[in-house]
Structure 1
């Protein structure tokens, strides 16, 4: 018998092995951490954390032992690349009389804070995902976690008794550095996925209802960024063909930054959907990715107009509106007058005009 051949043969097919490995873990096996913080416009706490779920190395090893018995192996290699060490893990699974290998790794900076133990664990986690272990976490929508700050009396009083995790550190919120120290309740995957599935079911029913012609249809204004959300075109952000959860979270955060700069509160943002979609959503993170893209495309040029106008050209909001009025040949007196009227091309035209005017002024004073 070959020395590399396990003595006990696998009784599961490759498909069955993958299905068993990729099963969701129990709530107590999933760890959570907060890496990003946003302003909380919907709840009682001032800030919310963006929760990231992960599986630790021991849970991965238990899953491999449970499904594969002794018929799996792991090996590690380190490669020096300039000032970076590439630390790789290879997991092998013996099934149907052959070894199947998957490899992935992490980069370590020479002299950095990450050391051997964490490198082994992180490389193992990455390689395990190739066999489906922990992949269910990538299919979650954005997980928002209320943070109860220790120095806020009202939030101390509202802090639930089951808040069992701590968060402490400096975070960038709406462009500002904020120090946060507090507690939060550990999310439960079973509850999150149940709510997510219920939301998808409701959205599916809404889409089917939207396909039926209304008895008294009202024409919505035609806009350049409008998108439709029919069953054929709507794509939920957890779909494998759509954006990754990270891309979706980044888009939500970008829109929140636009809201903060333009003085728009998310709870009062319902009217914005009429500019880009035919459906109104209760929360920004409930909208499909295409709707968020259209909303960001509408708001970001206005945000840049005001930000760069102030920081680069030292002009106030009224002056920037005046330049926009000349460009669009209509009076612009408030932010909403620019919705779906100012795009990147128009923004560049305004900035070129400002530069020309400022150069002409300098020449006059010379």
Structure 2
């Protein structure tokens, strides 16, 4: 893979489902408590991306450091580009929880930023979200509000990211996208007492246009989104085209065949994520249309084509509509 393609793929935005959020601070106004939340990528997410793009052509080493009385770890992240190994280094203090493991993870994340992985997260606007009774992120801790320590317990939902910080083929539903400005710039509003709008997540099964899209970049991003481990890539090519190979070895036509086979799965899983369905629920609905037991997302590979994905999505929409109050 060429250096330019490697760098572009490393810098590509992550799927929203791969981004974690933590509370940085809290405040209170007439509408209740609101939280300033910041995004981050886990060390595992970074390693999965490196595996998907580079296979075995990357390595990391760690060095324990002590600077100005503070202990920490340095991480040297090396990537093979062409015939040359190139190393970029950064470091982090030891973690308060699992100091060695946490220190290694934080150092790896910082070193990965040197290669562009997740660097775009630093350019995101500030996100203020309301503290709710429940959400897909848990809050349970002490925060300083108006100069006083206050114990907060509850949850918050993931903020919706601006379009320029999303993968090219990812789209929020209209109802989710419209809440973006409220979450990032305005104080939280009290829940509406009116009827739900009835809007449902949208889904697109149209792959990116072949013209102007680097097939290697598109397939690498697809494999990353589906969390395919590098040791499984050759097997997927074998299932798709009857030959074992890596992304770097495949021709444009072979890459398109693999993309065509796996793209409906990502479309379906993205829809389920936008709809707020758990993976267990997503697999439950898929079992009905695929007509066989499904225990893991990868069980959908080469079983869920575009037609099956469309039917399953329509079935979920109908189920959601039936659950809406009259």
TM-score, structure 2 normalization: 0.48
Question: Which structure would you say has the larger RCO, counting Cα contacts within 8 Å and 6 or more residues apart?
Answer: 2
TM-score, structure 1 normalization: 0.43
